[in-house]
Amino acid sequence: MLGNVYERGLSVAVAALHEREPERLWPLVASALPELCGGENLIYKLDDWNEAGGTVGMPSEVAAAFERLGDEDLALLRAGYPFAHHYAAGPDRAPLTARRRAGRAWSTSPTARLIGEVMGADHVLAIPLPRTTAPITGCMIYRSGRDFTDDHVRAAQKLQPLLAGIEQQRQLLERLRRSTEPSVDPAADCALTPRELSVLLLLTDALTAAAIGRRLGISDRTVHKHVENIYRKLGTRDRISTVLRAQRLGLVPTPSATARSQP
């Protein structure tokens, strides 16, 4: 079962990593992830689970219901009970269900009441992104009826590295977007793929192939293959000339542009 889940999750991740628009990555994940983990719906949050603010993403079929929520209910949703305090208290990032964390208190909590009214759900499975510290980010999967099984939780844990890779890609694409003119897509002219762009951005940061691989969740060999493709497409032969050419083409920010963007 877990092998099949990982293969299906990998297919979703590959599709997401071929997207050039960062805002499209997590909606792709949201359409497939609940079923892989035994759920029915999903909410993802890419900034801290807190009551004060932050963007909440969800599939379109449940978004309409949440648009009608008032500030008090939205704050309750953002608070992430009972997971936020649990994950903030230590390094544990293992997926966890609300029932296993809060016990009987979960069923009578205001959060359980809210998701029951809005989504018709009884149970929640939290999947934090691994290695996140502050803020704690990730997603919550919802289902009705019985709680998530041990197999569902193990499936979620198996998928965590793929989710981390997708989020890393989203951040890199956002960074690229901020560094270039919105009307210009130099990567398209060079035929660089989104994944090659991610590697190029990390090359600019002077990271080793091993460090890039750890960031993106890929092997050193795959990193070297991407680097070879980048060299070929940009007509360069080494890291320094590649970075300089990428800066001239507007593919990555120049040092002066980076300095001006700092607060």
Q: What's the rounded Cα separation, in Å, for the pair 23 and 110?
A: 31
pLDDT of the residue at 185: 55
Q: List beta partners, residue 131.
A: none
Q: What's the rounded Cα separation, in Å, for the pair 177 and 137?
A: 22
Q: What's the rounded Cα separation, in Å, for the pair 91 and 13?
A: 25
What are the average pLDDT values for consecutive 10-residue runs of the chain, which has 263 residues? 78 80 85 91 76 70 75 81 87 94 94 91 93 78 95 94 87 76 57 84 87 86 91 88 84 57 41
pTM of the model: 0.69
Residues 6+ apart with CB under 8 A from 222: 213
Q: Is residue 246 helix, strand or coil? A: helix
Q: What's the rounded Cα separation, in Å, for the pair 93 and 42?
A: 18
Residues 6+ apart with CB under 8 A from 98: 81, 82, 83, 106, 111, 112, 123, 124, 125, 126
pLDDT of the residue at 259: 40
Lookup result for tokens 């999947």: 127
Q: Is residue 145 helix, strand or coil? A: coil
pLDDT of the residue at 141: 95
pLDDT of the residue at 196: 86
pLDDT of the residue at 205: 84
